Amino acid sequence: MAEKKSQAEQLKEKLFYEKKHATLVMSEQEEKKADKYCEGYKKFLDAGKTEREAAATAVAMAEKAGFKPFDKKAQYKAGDKIYVLNREKAVILAVIGKSDISNGVNLTAAHIDSPRLDLKQNPLYESDELGYFKTHYYGGIKKYQWPTVPMSLHGVIVRADGSKVTVRIGEDEGDPVFVVTDLLPHLAEEQYKRPATKLIKGEELNILIGSRPFRDDKISEKVKLNLLNILFEKYGIVEKDFLSAELECVPAFKAKDVGFDRSLVGAYGQDDRVCGFTSLFAMLDVEAGDRTTCCILVDKEEIGSVGATGMHSRFFENAIAEILALMGETADIKVRRALQNSKMLSSDVSAAYDPMFAEAFEKRSSAFFGKGLVFNKFTGSRGKSGSNDANAEYLAKIRGVMDDADVSYQFAELGKVDAGGGGTIAYIMANYGMEVIDSGVAVLSMHAPWEVTSKADVYEAYKGYVAFLKNM
């Protein structure tokens, strides 16, 4: 016979807020479902290691689910599923609802770019009979984390005639990989004296790509010639073609289970493809309802959401205008109303509490592994600088939707107030006057070559995005 709870115990249970571990809330059957879901998630991470690859994979999945490319000659109606591809680096998916779009849409928006090493436009050189690519790091990284990591090369090379070569080397069994070297500890006395930010300098992040010379004693730079000859034979490119190339070096690791219990996922680029892919999966599983639903997968967040494929561009606003026009609504006020009346989740990762570096966190306000989808009322830095600060009424509505769908969720901040900070695309979309809040998955080792997430959190994020799209 169960012992009767005391009055204080009952009152505490009623009044206190306790963040429960999602695994302890879900059934064993649902836990298995979460694990199975994450198998597909890992495959998606491996397939989409760059913004171009992630966008292409998203489009392929969308087409399989019945989405059609946007057609300026079409006439759209409730139930239609469409996508808009922006320069092969950003995607908008939309399911037209029954209600007038000017009443607003429910949308999730995540970025699909990640910190990495980009090749410079004149990258290939030889130094002391070793061949290298010069790089420029992209986004916020700890530069010392990137040497001695096996790297793969991804991207496109566009020749002057417009023909395009797709590059993906280092991912398949039998492919060569590349590496940034580091100084051996025996000779590193002077290197150790550098501050951590300069332990490895930006100009030392050069990719080792070969060492075998071309068999000819009459020329210099034999290694460079041999490498260019290999590239010419394989891809039909010459050195000048690097001027119009976009090539990215990313870790060659495959996504893996982490831990004896396989409860975690380790992979490159989970910031923010964990939110990008869960948002996409949710979008593909939501049928047409009253409100139009959208999923935005966007580029350039890691460098300020700039450029034609970043959220600061107006490609989402333009897409809404185009769709409305094809539905017979050409008035500018309709576009403005659609944007202002929309409800959005800015789907980006949050910092998971790390007991190894507890001094950086304020524990009561931290995101924890296994506690579900993370909501951040505000991000920004120190005094909320650069933040979208979501209003209380919107938060209450979201709580209700999540509770009704039995989604495990938590509210958190990035770290201690004076420790630093970061932002997302939320403030950009809030400029339209729409309701926006940051939400996502907690991550350990964010921006490192190998990031870690909880399978339970990944699954709860998917559930939460489905609930938001259907019921907000």
Domains of the chain: 17-114+268-471 (3.40.630.10), 116-251 (2.30.250.10)
Residues in the chain: 472
Q: How much is the pLDDT for 3?
A: 76
- The identity of residue 173, as a single letter, is E
Q: Residue 425: its pLDDT value, please? A: 87
Res 350: pLDDT: 94
CA distances from 326 to 291, 313, 321, 322 (A): 17, 22, 9, 6
Q: Is the pLDDT of residue 181 over 80?
A: yes
112-141: burial string, b at 16+ Cβ within 10 Å, e else: bbbbbbbbeeebbbbeeeebbbbbeebbeb
**Strand pairing of 264-267 and 90-95?**
unpaired
What amino acid is encoded at 308 in this protein?
Answer: A
The whole-number average pLDDT for the span 404-410 is 96
Nearest to 340 by CA among 102, 4, 97, 160: 102
User: Quick one: pLDDT at residue 121?
Assistant: 95
Please identify which residue in the block is written with the tokens 């990031």. Answer: 451
Q: Name residues whose C-beta falls within 8 Å of residue 76's C-beta, 6 or more positions apart in sequence.
A: 82, 96, 323, 326, 327
Answer yes or no: is pLDDT of 334 > 90: yes
Structure tokens at 395: 């938060």
Please tell me the distance from the alpha carbon of residue 153 to that of residue 418, in angstroms, as a whole number: 38
Q: Which of 146, 422, 158, 202 is closest to 305 using CA atoms?
A: 422
Residue 330 has pLDDT above 90, yes or no: no
Q: What does R_g of the chain's alpha carbons equal in angstroms?
A: 24
Specify the pLDDT at position 329.
87
Range of weakest confidence among 16-20, 78-82, 148-152, 252-256: 16-20
- Is the predicted pLDDT of residue 415 greater than 90, yes or no? no
Q: Can you read off the two tokens belonging to residue 192?
A: 């150790």
- Given a cut of 70, whether residue 2 has pLDDT beyond it is no
What residues are paired with 69 via a beta bridge? 83
Q: What is the mean pLDDT of residues 195-217?
A: 94
**Among 463, 409, 467, residue whose Cα is nearest residue 19:** 409
Return the pLDDT at 9. Answer: 85
Q: Can you tell me the distance from the alpha carbon of 51 to that of 308, in angstroms, rounded to the nearest whole number?
A: 14
417 has pLDDT over 90: no
Convert the pLDDT of each residue in 371-400 to its tens digit.
Answer: 999 999 888 788 888 888 889 999 999 999
pLDDT at res. 335: 93
Residue among 30, 62, 437 nearest 280 (CA): 62
What tens digit of pLDDT does each residue of 418-451 get? 887 777 888 999 999 999 999 999 999 999 999 9
Question: Can you tell me the distance from the alpha carbon of 203 to that of 133, in angstroms, rounded to the nearest whole number?
Answer: 11
Which residues are CB-contacts of 190 (< 8 A; sequence separation ≥ 6)? none
Place of tokens 């760059």: 50
45 and 253 in contact (C-beta within 8 Å)? no
Other Cβ atoms within 10 Å of 60 Cβ, number: 11
* Per-residue pLDDT, 328: 87
Residue 217 has pLDDT above 80, yes or no: no
Taken in order 384, 390, 396, 398, is the CA torsion positive or negative?
Answer: negative
pLDDT in tens, 5-28: 898 988 988 888 888 899 999 999
Identify the pLDDT of residue 1.
56
Label the pairing between strands 81-86 and 68-69: parallel
Higher-confidence position of 4 and 344: 344
pLDDT for 230 beyond 90: yes
What is the average pLDDT score of the chain?
A: 94
